[in-house]
Amino acid sequence: MSTQRKEFGRRGLSQNTAPQRGQRQAPFSPARGVATGYASPGGNALSLDDDGFSLWTAFTHTLKLFFGFQGRIGRLEYWTIGIARFVLMTVLLFAFVSTTQPGMEDMTQASVLNALLMSGTGLIYTAIFIAGLVNYWSLEVRRCHDRNVSGLLLLIMFIPVIGAFFAVYIFIMNGFFPGTSGSNRFDTAQGMAPIFD
């Protein structure tokens, strides 16, 4: 029975010329030329990298991770991002309450709305709160996708009374039960559910 090994750093190795386990790699001979994974002297080594990484791709990947609605995520990502969002929103709520006028409990809803929308800090809190809501729906939809369920099912949460019970059900299903193993109809090219679940 043959055992499989993971190969790391395979750049520049040809599938046909890679040494098998237990065999020695042939020494370099000038007659064969230079190794394939290296730039020739005076050449451009960056053209051989072609890994597609840039700050822009890192930024867009992060935005898709937090706010994208396509693909799947595993339970680890769901809990990690969800707990971080919960802590951030709790801190922001206490910060908003402490920075508004003293005696907020005596304020009417209209004056709280006025404090949110008519001040600079209120607008910042509102923008971060809206981003947190989009992040919440993004996580729930992609967790449903990991379980091979359509994200449109989450619209049931908007039905009075039933929606509250359904929200608890979705939280339990998305947070504690694994997704479908293997591929499903919501997979994307960069699907990460098998890595993190």
8 Å CB contact between 197 and 75? yes
How many other C-beta atoms are found inside a 10 Å radius of the C-beta of residue 44?
9
DSSP letter string over 42-82? TS-THHHH-----HHHHHHHHHHHHH--SS---HHHHHHHH
Closest among 143, 150, 152 to 191, alpha carbons compared: 143
What is the enclosing helix (H) or strand (E) of 139? Answer: helix 120-146
Instruction: Give the whole-angstrom CA distance, residue 17 versus residue 69.
Output: 43
Instruction: Give the whole-angstrom CA distance, residue 180 versus residue 170.
Output: 16
Closest among 94, 99, 61 to 77, alpha carbons compared: 61
Residues contacting 64, CB < 8 A, separation 6+ = 70
User: pLDDT value at position 59?
Assistant: 87
8 Å CB contact between 147 and 180? yes
Q: In the chain, where do the E strands start and end?
A: none
Q: For each of the chain's 197 residues, which pLDDT tens digit applies? A: 555 555 555 554 445 554 444 445 555 555 555 555 555 555 555 554 556 678 888 888 888 888 988 888 889 999 999 999 999 999 988 887 777 656 667 778 788 788 778 878 778 888 999 999 999 999 999 999 999 999 999 999 999 999 999 999 999 999 999 988 888 888 765 555 455 55
Query: CA end-to-end span of the chain, whole Å?
Result: 29
Per-domain boundaries in the chain: 70-177
User: pLDDT value at position 39?
Assistant: 52
Instruction: Give the whole-angstrom CA distance, residue 127 versus residue 5.
Output: 49
Which amino acid type is present at position 104?
M
User: pLDDT value at position 159?
Assistant: 94
User: Helix crossing, 75-99 with 120-146: angle to 10°?
Assistant: 160
User: pLDDT value at position 19?
Assistant: 47
